Amino acid sequence: MPEYMHKVYDWAYLDPRNATILDRELIVSMILWGNNRRLKKSLLSEIVPNATVLQAAHVYGSLIYEIAAKLSHPRQLEVVDVSALQIGRCRDKLRAFPQVVMRIGDIALLRSTPRDVISCFFLLHEVPWDYKRALVNRLLEQVAPGGKAVFVDYHKPHRLHPLRGIMNLIWRKFEPFAIDLLESEIDRFADNHDSFTWTKETFFGGLYQKVVATRR
């Protein structure tokens, strides 16, 4: 288990009681200021029904379920999460979906088979700088030729954004590794940058971003 999980995110992802409270669509929607549906929709638009998909970590709410529901073949979706508790929650959500396999593992050490789509939803802002680089590079390695990695996460909001002040307080208190994501571009973490075509879209006054890296 990486150190930051115990030091910073113990309460959110390793405590079973808190996980039960937080793992609800309404809570995720509140945390994302009502943008959850829009961001999920944008991510889901990158996934076609016959794609093989790697989901980097469990996500609270219904996203994992919605990805699984788009796919039809056995073992089409793999979810990897470093926390046994989170894999357990994911398993409970997806009992009805034989197209999903789940395993406990650190994405920074991932060795997997190439996938058409790699989905990374609000994970990068929760990990330290070195880990951001490791995660981006490990995930890009798993992208099949013509496939893509999709990163949805926080982004530096417009300087006049009305929520900028409160978000800065929240990040400093609860999400300390978010700050350096705001000051960098996700594509800059990629060692193999030019093997991919990069696109970036921002949402909600720049507070969120979707970056898509398509393997050339």
Least distance between ligand SAM and beta carbon 146 (Å): 25
Q: Kindly provide the b/e burial profile for residues 51-73, where b requires at least 16 CB atoms within 10 angstroms of the residue's own CB.
A: bbbbbbbbbbbbbbbebbebbee
Nearest distance, CB of residue 153 and ligand SAM, angstroms:
9
Contact flag: residue 186 with ligand SAM (CB under 6 A): no
Residue 47: how many other CB atoms lie within 10 Å:
20
Residue closer to ligand SAM, measured from CB, 5 or 49: 5
Q: Other C-beta atoms within 10 Å of 150: how many?
A: 24
| 3-state DSSP percent of the chain in helix, strand and coil, to 5 | 45, 25, 35
Scanning residues 124 to 143, which ones bind ligand SAM (CB under 6 A)? 126-127
CB 65 within 8 A of CB 93: yes
Stretch touching ligand SAM by CB under 6 A, among 116-124, 151-159, 164-172, 192-200: 116-124
Q: Which stretch binds ligand SAM (CB under 6 A): 39-47, 106-114, 163-171, 178-186?
A: 106-114
Binding mask 65-94 for ligand SAM (x = CB under 6 A): ---------------xxxx--x--------
If you count DSSP H runs as helices and E runs as strands, how many of each does the chain have, helices first? 9, 7
Question: Residue 57 interacts with ligand SAM (CB under 6 A)?
Answer: yes
Amino acid identity for residue 10 in this structure:
D
* Given 15, 106, 141, 187, the residue binding ligand SAM (CB under 6 A): 106
Among candidate residues 153, 139, 144, 141, the one with its CA nearest the CA of residue 43? 153
Residue from 39, 52, 77, 122 touching ligand SAM (CB under 6 A): that is: 122
Q: Residue 173 and residue 93: Cα distance in Å, rounded?
A: 30
Nearest residue to ligand SAM on Cβ basis: 57
60 touching ligand SAM, by CB under 6 A: yes
Residues near ligand SAM (CB under 6 A) = 2, 13, 28, 57-60, 80-83, 86, 106-108, 121-123, 126-127
